[in-house]
Structure 1
Amino acid sequence: MIKEIITGNLLTKFMALVMAIALWLYAINRHTEDLTEVVRLSVSVPTGITVLEQSAEDIVVHLRGPQNVIETTKGLIKDQKVHAKYVIQESPEGIEDQIKQTVIIGREHLGLPNSVKLISVYPEKVSILLGKLQKKRLKVNLQKKGEPAIGYTIANEFVFPAEVEVEGPLNALKEVVSINTIPVDIGGITVEQNRTFPWRIEIDQKVTVKHGDKSITVPVVCDQDIRMWLQVVEKQETRVIEKLKIKILMPDNYPYVIKLRDEYVNIKIKGSKLLLEKLNPEDILPYVDVTSLKPPGPYKQPIKCHLSKNLEIVDKLPDAHLDIRERENPSESGKQ
């Protein structure tokens, strides 16, 4: 009896199950919904070709479908799992320099679920300018940002290799002779960094091409990196020390009187900014040595001056004009 209840009317039970599933599917799909979203358009090109210009990088799609599927599609678009992709079939051999194409975006380029209908695309047509790629060696320009620490400067810079091979559009690379590095931050560096070189830096993956009055940035590919050396030194400046009294060097008990036409001299000194700021004028001693002279008589002698290490006199010091005569008073000792 129980067996008959369970196994009986199987066809009727199966039909009831089918109807229940159909009603369930109808219930969840009976409401349709529209969706308008912006999706990214990517253009894939074969090896040896690059996209120089693209009239639109985003397109607006109008979709319609079951409510639950539209909600899922909206999430996929938000997560960038649904986007427009167009594959260029052009061969590099078919391009002498560059070529323009118009592509039409359809459902087959969007990867939509089967139950979602594409109502419209804007723009439907996108213009693509294709360029043939070539390889070329370009000179490397070192780009820096920031300034060394106060009192320091860059005396010399060197990069290796001095040239790199890049791949880019044939038309653009015809006019290009150099490529920049990624900007290197030298802010606050001192001579301590001299011991840490070389630094490794990357090549900027673009070049700048001039067309008339406009400068256009063109992407290129370079898989090399660069080693960089800088020579950081203390900044050299000059300082004029005025009215320094000239000292006379003479033997003890010198039996002559010495008179200077000009008793003071101005001295221009070159050295690091830090040293010049600390320089005390009292530590600078200009002098004239009369030890080897045979008085009496007027003389012209060079003014000399000894400076501390890493400081030097910029301009030649003038000669001193002296009048050396015998003492009128025997008790008078040698003086300036």
Structure 2
Amino acid sequence: MKNIFTENLPTKLMALVMAFALWLYAINRHTGDLSATVSLTVSVPEGIAIVEQSTEEVTIHVQGPQNVIDTVDGMIKDHKIWAQYVIRESPDGIEDQLKQSIFIRREHLDLPPAVKLVSVYPDKIDVVLGKLQKKKLKVVLQKKGEPAVGYSVVNEFIFPGEVEVTGPLSALKEVSSINTVPVDISGISGEQNRTFPWRIEIDKRVAIRRGDKTVSLPVECKEDVRVWLQIVEQQDTRVLGKIKIKIISPAEYPYLIKLQDEFVEVKVKGPKLLLDKLNTDDVILYIDVTSLKPPGPYKQPIKSILPKNVEIADKLPEAHLDIRETQRSAEAR
């Protein structure tokens, strides 16, 4: 048995080496192709910002052994391979902004040595570089969502009202304000008045006009602001019709009262949520005839009793009434 493994050992080793070499040859001979889109990162020195960039992605076409190509495909999908270009321009060489064209080559892609880069599209990228400066900008509060039904934001206060921003000179000279990040006010009510101030971050971009379109450019701001909002119940008006006028008189009032109009239309104002639930039984209208005696006619002010926080929006009309003696009161005299 031992002789089986030891006989002709050099020949057997040579055969093993040749078989391994043949396997490698077969693997490498099987060449794969891959076209994929990768992100493009352009880095700039301190004191410079990228104002415009023609594209942030490039499409690469590569070839190589199929097993390596499969590995590269997986790395691209996992965002482990991308294009990166470093600009060496000095801020001293830029007065305001400077346009440059850069070309993406193999050295800008972290590809395995066994992979051949066939093409890059586009291989020429246009960038506009801007010199950075600092500027004080007014803070504008950005809100999203709507308060709870029946509530509204009637006032807002931001401190500080201005923040220092660092950004491209060409952009900052065109703007005077910067937004906060959007603040979600969905569903807030008067209860939130006790939770202020809120600490809010500043947006990291400013919007400027470039011809007929709006361009968003990156800026830096190391500050945040505190925000106070005044949230109140929405006020509204509502018309209530056909409310009967009550007559207030002493007991044993000896006269007969006749109203020209027994019902009146009333316009009230108050919190919208309260008015939505209001009905005619909640409003009392009356006139006091205690001091009135015949003969009439009379004009008397209509008085009202209303729920809390509800008021008469328009002046109530006067009541036209006539007072007559009853037969019993005439006989008593």
TM-score for the superposition, normalised by structure 2: 0.79
| Residues 328, 172 of structure 1: alpha-carbon distance in 2 compared, 3 angstrom cutoff | same
Report SS of the residue matched to 2:274. Answer: helix
| Residues 238, 89 of structure 1: alpha-carbon distance in 2 compared, 3 angstrom cutoff | same
Question: C-alpha separation between the residues in 2 aligned to 1:329 and 1:80?
Answer: 103
Counterpart of 2:327, as a letter, is N
Report SS of the residue matched to 1:331. Answer: helix
| 1:235 counterpart residue number | 234
Counterpart of 2:233, as a letter, is E
| Residues 71, 324 of structure 1: alpha-carbon distance in 2 compared, 3 angstrom cutoff | closer
Report SS of the residue matched to 2:327. Answer: coil
The farther-off stretch of 48-57 and 243-252 is 243-252
1:163 and 2:155 are equivalent in the alignment: no
Question: C-alpha separation between the residues in 2 aligned to 1:83 and 1:21?
Answer: 38
1:214 and 2:199 are equivalent in the alignment: no
| 2:268 counterpart residue number | 269
Displacement of 1:202 after TM fit?
Answer: 3.0
The number of residues matched between the two structures is 319
Displacement of 1:85 after TM fit?
Answer: 1.1
TM-score for the superposition, normalised by structure 1: 0.79
| Residues 320, 71 of structure 1: alpha-carbon distance in 2 compared, 3 angstrom cutoff | closer
| 2:248 counterpart residue number | 249
Report SS of the residue matched to 1:168. Answer: strand
1:137 and 2:136 are equivalent in the alignment: yes
Question: C-alpha separation between the residues in 2 aligned to 1:79 and 1:262?
Answer: 82
Displacement of 1:314 after TM fit?
Answer: 0.5
- Aligned counterparts, 1:53-68, within 5 A: 53-68=52-67
| Residues 131, 252 of structure 1: alpha-carbon distance in 2 compared, 3 angstrom cutoff | same
| Residues 70, 280 of structure 1: alpha-carbon distance in 2 compared, 3 angstrom cutoff | closer
Displacement of 1:230 after TM fit?
Answer: 3.0
- Structure 2 unmatched ranges of 5 or more: 1-9
| 1:7 counterpart residue number | none
The farther-off stretch of 98-107 and 168-177 is 168-177
- Aligned counterparts, 1:172-321, within 5 A: 172-254=171-253, 256-292=255-291, 296=295, 298-321=297-320
Question: C-alpha separation between the residues in 2 aligned to 1:152 and 1:260?
Answer: 41
Question: C-alpha separation between the residues in 2 aligned to 1:266 and 1:245?
Answer: 9
Report SS of the residue matched to 2:154. Answer: strand
Question: C-alpha separation between the residues in 1 aligned to 2:216 and 2:52?
Answer: 11
Instruction: Give a deviation string over 1:10-32, Cα, whole Å, max 9, x none.
Output: xx9xxx8xx88995896465665
Task: Tell me the percent identity.
Answer: 63
* Contact 2:254–2:326 (Cα < 8 Å) also in 1: no
Question: C-alpha separation between the residues in 2 aligned to 1:257 and 1:31?
Answer: 115
- Structure 1 unmatched ranges of 5 or more: 1-11
Question: C-alpha separation between the residues in 1 aligned to 2:115 and 2:163?
Answer: 50
- Aligned counterparts, 1:145-160, within 5 A: 145-160=144-159
Report SS of the residue matched to 1:46. Answer: coil
